[in-house]
Structure 1
Amino acid sequence: MSLKSTFKGFLGETVINVAMWLKLEKDVYHRLNGITLPRANGGSTQIDHIIVSVYGIFVIETKNYKGWIYGSENQKQWTQAFPNGSKFKFQNPLRQNYLHIKTLADLLGLELSYFHSMIAFIGECELKTRDELPEHVLTGGMV
């Protein structure tokens, strides 16, 4: 991972973190950021944001991307494309966040029904396959 992409990821996560701090009632929503958890088969997984509330546990994957985003719910990889014709593949964030939720549920001994997945795209991107994606894949209004 390049320094530039690491910085963009950090910046995106910081934007969401500040928005949550400003907008969410602190006595109702408890925020955790940048949580690394061990996986059952070895290795680890890093969760951008977790919000614990009486409404459930919200697990948020943040993507700070530009360009056009193509993908469907069941694809392994999605594509980021630019007007100049360049394209880049990246892991389907829905699948990525499912792994986060499954890991967290297993560690806490909770059923998956307590968890809510959210994918927050920030930056100047446009989801070109909006009709093929669940409502919890957002490009705005996340908080």
Structure 2
Amino acid sequence: MAIAIIASIILVFVLLIYLEVRNKRLLQTVTNTNRGTNSERNLVLRLLKLGTPAVTIFHDLYIKNPNGKFTQIDLAVATKVGLIIFEVKDYSGWIYGTGYREKWTQVLTYGRNKYRFYNPVLQNKKHIEDIRKQSSQFQNLPFFSVIVFYGNSEFKDVSFIPKGTYLIKPHRIRRVLKTILNENPPAKYTNKNEVVGILKAAVENSNSTKTQTQHIKNIENMLGNHRIFE
């Protein structure tokens, strides 16, 4: 009996190592194992395991705007119906918000603690607006916005989510992909190589420390926290 138990433990341990190695290799077909957040990398893996081709997934993009500033996008997927832009969030607690209001609310400890955060629907809408400016072709391509909430959160009262925008938990990714791909006509790409080239260049931008530093400074300047003295 003891030998059987030990053998079972060893088997489970070997299986876990095998799965870890397999996931790592699968992830590396798209991105580095230390790039972005754990949740972003988990989303990449989910997409790959659902059959999304690795060459169509672009992780951690930095889009350069005409003013020289950068817009950071968590994930973009090129599909037959257009581009899907993902925004990944990590929150716990109850989530309250409407699609058109600037601030949403996170409620913790049964209402005793409340925190405001920027509306992710508007945030990803801005990401799409910025990426559209990269090419005249993008002006006419369909874009879909998917905001994925990781963490132990619950959409307590969220409403007025615009058409073409989806707010989901990670386990619903298959459902939303199926909805987008099945309910929309094929996109009229005029130059697929241009699309891939722009998205690849945006991924390469994030390899630059200077780019990341500038992006952080842009966010700090926008928030203005460094101009508050208490």
Structure whose alpha-carbon radius of gyration is higher: 2
Please list, as runs of the form range in 1=range in 2, the aligned pairs for 1:29-40 lying within 5 A after superposition.
30-40=56-66
Q: Assess if the C-alpha contact under 8 Å between 1:77 and 1:92 holds in 2.
A: yes
1:6 corresponds to: none
Q: Assess if the C-alpha contact under 8 Å between 2:100 and 2:160 holds in 1.
A: no
The structure 1 residue matched to 2:149, chosen from 117, 121, 135, is 121
Any unmatched runs of 5+ in structure 1? 1-8
Q: Assess if the C-alpha contact under 8 Å between 1:101 and 1:112 holds in 2.
A: no
Aligned-pair Cα RMSD in Å: 2.0
Name the one with the larger strand percent. Answer: 1
Name the one with the larger helix percent. Answer: 2
Please report how far the alpha carbon of residue 90 of structure 1 lies from its aligned counterpart in structure 2 after TM superposition: 1.1
Determine the C-alpha separation between the residues in 2 that align with 1:112 and 1:98. Answer: 16
Please report how far the alpha carbon of residue 113 of structure 1 lies from its aligned counterpart in structure 2 after TM superposition: 4.9
2:166 corresponds to: 136
Q: Residues 20-77 of structure 1, C-alpha deviation per residue, up to 9 Å, x if partnerless? A: 12113318x7100000112233421110010001121000101111111111001111
Secondary structure of 1:141's aligned partner? helix
Q: Assess if the C-alpha contact under 8 Å between 1:102 and 1:112 holds in 2.
A: no
Q: TM-score, normalising length from structure 2?
A: 0.54
Please list, as runs of the form range in 1=range in 2, the aligned pairs for 1:1-143 lying within 5 A after superposition.
10-26=37-53, 30-83=56-109, 85-109=112-136, 110-111=138-139, 113-134=141-162, 136-139=166-169, 140-143=171-174
Equivalenced residue count is 134
Q: TM-score, normalising length from structure 1?
A: 0.83
Secondary structure of 2:43's aligned partner? helix
**Residue identity matched to 1:138:** I
2:222 corresponds to: none
Structure 1 residues 42 and 77: alpha-carbon distance in aligned structure 2, compared to 1, 3 A threshold: farther
Any unmatched runs of 5+ in structure 2? 1-35, 175-230
Determine the C-alpha separation between the residues in 2 that align with 1:142 and 1:69. Answer: 19
Q: Residues 107-129 of structure 1, C-alpha deviation per residue, up to 9 Å, x if partnerless? A: 02222651111111121100112
Give % identity.
Answer: 27
